[in-house]
Amino acid sequence: MKRKCSLKKKESWTGLLFIFPQLIAFLFVCMLPIILCFYYSITDRNGIIIGLLNYQELWASKTFLLAVKNTLYFGVIGVVFLIIISFILANLFHHIILLTAYNIKWLQSILILPMVMPSITAILFFRIIFDRGGVLNQWLDSSALYIHQEPYAFWILIFIYLWKNCGYCSVLMISALIGIDREQYEAARCDGASTIRQILHITLPQIKSSLLFSIIIAIIDVFKIFRESYLLMGEYPHESVYMLQNFILNNMETLNYPRLSAATLTFAALLSAIIIIFVYVSKVLDEGDEV
Amino acid sequence: MTSYKRKNIFIIAYSILILFSFIVLIPFLFIIIHSLMPPEQIQVAYGALGQDLIKFQFWPEKVSLRQYLRVFSDGILEWYFYYNNTIVLAVPILILTLLFSVFSGYGLSKFKFRGKKKLLTIYLIFLLLPTQVMLVPFFIFFNKLDLMGSRFPLILFCTGSPFGTFLLYQFMKTIPSGSIEAARIEGANEWKIFWKIVLPQARPGVSSLIILTLIDCCSMIEQPFMLLKEKTQYPMSIMLKYLSESTIEYAFVLSVIFVFPLFLISFILQEELLTGIGFTVPQKVKK
């Protein structure tokens, strides 16, 4: 019994040794700066501790609220669209694989190409299309549809987001779909289940974990799309696409540390709350530990 | 289902996919075709971009490689200088990220210790925080320590993110533990197990991490803006940003030159990239 105990201890020490280098880097890049940030967020510009006043001020500011609202709105719409479209794409792929038993790798490789392209080169194309005097406006013979206009700015950004990430997410899902036992579909078909019921009762429960993982990737990409927005629309985009990152970058110019820190921490706290609930409800990190 | 109906579904599915991949491909074709246009034509067509109506052109009036020649032999706009900056940044970032993530991915996926789930949750939170948000505390912290001024903070910032760890953690979970335990019983030490058994099996995961890291290095814009003080240290991505706003004639050519190595690498690692992406999903290991 004692020997087993010491073995376990040894194992956990080896594991800790392996994660040690990353942990140190992580500490310096993420943890310590955040702690310093917390200190800044409760002081004023002269370094006197003033409690939560910065946070109050932040939540009273209209631009901050607008940024939070826009980010949430964009996130929800973007993630829902992305997951639905990549699910459909993955199912089409799966269908072909089922019928011909041939995994079409070359099409998949094309679909993940946008991921391999640096944002700046893709933006070169999108600027020419979506500019005020751009191709789209000339074809439609108008000057309304462009990147600084009310509903279009938002949807153009959603379009770029989908263009960039659909491939990655559908490749993620395809490999989960391939793992499903084919006989289950045949059995269901024999019992007279419709395609929709097959998807609801066979496909979805079995790719649950990969669906959750694609949602994580999709959320990461929602925040990454800011780079495209920044390159396409500059530092002061239209109100409807004014994101949290815009807020932070604009405040960075004035070097208002307390306000910046408060914004960063508020954002981190909001996101952490969502993630912790997500992790403990979906048990996405538990799976595989039992294997 | 009759074979006739099956064939119909097959054709519909295939054509939707091909249509979709064509939409995905348009920007690439666009940039490659435009890089073959003579600079004067591009100047006429897109010189007014951002101010006035542009004159969109799809085909080059006459295919020319003069601009490539000028870029390579005259070294116009000193692009190789910025290219070099990108490489100087990308190589250490790639090596450090790989080392860190391979080790910690293995440690997290195949060992049990207390607080593992908490650590993973913290990693996940920081993974999801946008780069720009993380940049602020990092900038303030390093400014306070007075470490700004070299490339070091930028390299550290890119390697400290837990993305690689998380990716390889997900991937290495699918490696069966049986082979590791067998080797352990045979008396192999941990170091040997890691190099001889785990790493060869993790190849697809590692190659997708290589590509994702390289892409991140090549497309960063805000990080160098904030963390590099000298303009001479700016990488190619920032130079292209300015170029696309001022001298658009050469932007297409330089874009192609910039993107080409990335495409080459991802083409070579294509097979492994696809499996790498696919298997990072938490899946049930078949016994």
Q: Do B259 and A117 touch (CB under 8 A)?
A: yes
From the list B49, B107, B240, which residue is nearest A120 (CB)? B240
Nearest CA in chain B to A227: B221
Res B46: pLDDT:
76
Task: List, for residues B47-67, the tens digit of each pLDDT value.
Answer: 767 666 777 777 777 777 877
Residue B287 pLDDT greater than 50, yes or no: no
Q: Grade residue B43 by pLDDT with cuts at 50, 70 and 90.
A: confident
Contacts of A115 in chain B (CB under 8 A): 212, 215
Q: Do A12 and B6 touch (CB under 8 A)?
A: no
- The two three-digit tokens of residue B85, written as one number: 């900056």
Res A7: pLDDT:
66
- Among B128, B134, B227, the strongest candidate for a mutation testing the A interface, having the largest count of A CBs within 10 A, is B128
Task: List, for residues B209-241, the tens digit of each pLDDT value.
Answer: 998 899 888 888 888 888 888 888 888 888 888
Residue B248 pLDDT greater than 60, yes or no: yes
Q: Do A279 and B124 touch (CB under 8 A)?
A: yes
- What's the ipTM? 0.86
Q: What are phi and psi of A252, to 5 degrees?
A: -65, -35
- Cα B275 to the center of its chain, rounded Å: 17
Task: List, for residues B5-35, the tens digit of each pLDDT value.
Answer: 777 878 888 888 889 889 888 888 888 888 8
Res B285: pLDDT:
41
Contact B143, B229 (CB under 8 A): no
Residue A151, min C-alpha distance to chain B (Å): 20
CA proximity to A127, closest of A156, A164, A89: A156
Residue B2 pLDDT greater than 80, yes or no: no
Residue B219, min C-alpha distance to chain A (Å): 5
DSSP H helices in A101-149: 105-111, 113-116, 119-130, 135-140
Top pLDDT among A8 and B258 is at B258
Q: In percent, how much of chain B has pLDDT > 70?
A: 93
Q: Do B144 and A36 touch (CB under 8 A)?
A: yes
What is the rounded CA–CA span in Å between residue A196 and residue A200?
6
- Among B4, B131, B148, B277, the strongest candidate for a mutation testing the A interface, having the largest count of A CBs within 10 A, is B277
Q: Region B75-85: what's the mean pLDDT?
A: 80
Nearest CA in chain A to B143: A33
Res A142: pLDDT:
66
Task: List, for residues A24-46, the tens digit of each pLDDT value.
Answer: 999 888 888 888 888 888 887 77
**How does pLDDT run along chain A (291 residues), one tens digit per residue?**
445 566 677 777 888 888 888 899 998 888 888 888 888 888 877 777 777 888 888 888 888 899 989 988 999 999 999 999 999 999 888 888 877 767 678 888 888 888 888 888 888 888 888 877 777 777 776 666 666 677 788 888 999 999 999 988 988 888 888 878 778 888 888 888 887 888 888 888 888 878 888 888 898 888 888 888 888 887 788 888 888 888 888 887 777 788 888 888 888 888 888 888 877 777 666 654 433
From the list B14, B20, B130, which residue is nearest A245 (CB)? B130
Contacts of B50 in chain A (CB under 8 A): 127, 131-132
Q: Mean of the per-residue pLDDT values for chain A?
A: 82
What is the rounded CA–CA span in Å between residue A249 and residue A120?
19
Res A105: pLDDT:
81
Strand-pairing partners, residue A43, are A49
Q: Do A275 and B222 touch (CB under 8 A)?
A: no
Residue B286 pLDDT greater than 50, yes or no: no
Q: Across chain B, how many H-helices and E-strands are there?
A: 16, 0
Q: Do B24 and A231 touch (CB under 8 A)?
A: no
Contacts of A267 in chain B (CB under 8 A): 129, 133
Q: Do B49 and A113 touch (CB under 8 A)?
A: no
What is the rounded CA–CA span in Å between residue B82 and residue B103?
32
Q: Do B107 and A163 touch (CB under 8 A)?
A: no
Give CA angle at A77 (B128, B132), nearest 5°: 30
Res B99: pLDDT:
92
CA proximity to A67, closest of A217, A219, A277, A249: A249
Q: Do B103 and A21 touch (CB under 8 A)?
A: yes
Contact B198, B172 (CB under 8 A): yes
pTM of the model: 0.87
Res A77: pLDDT:
94
Nearest CA in chain B to A116: B215
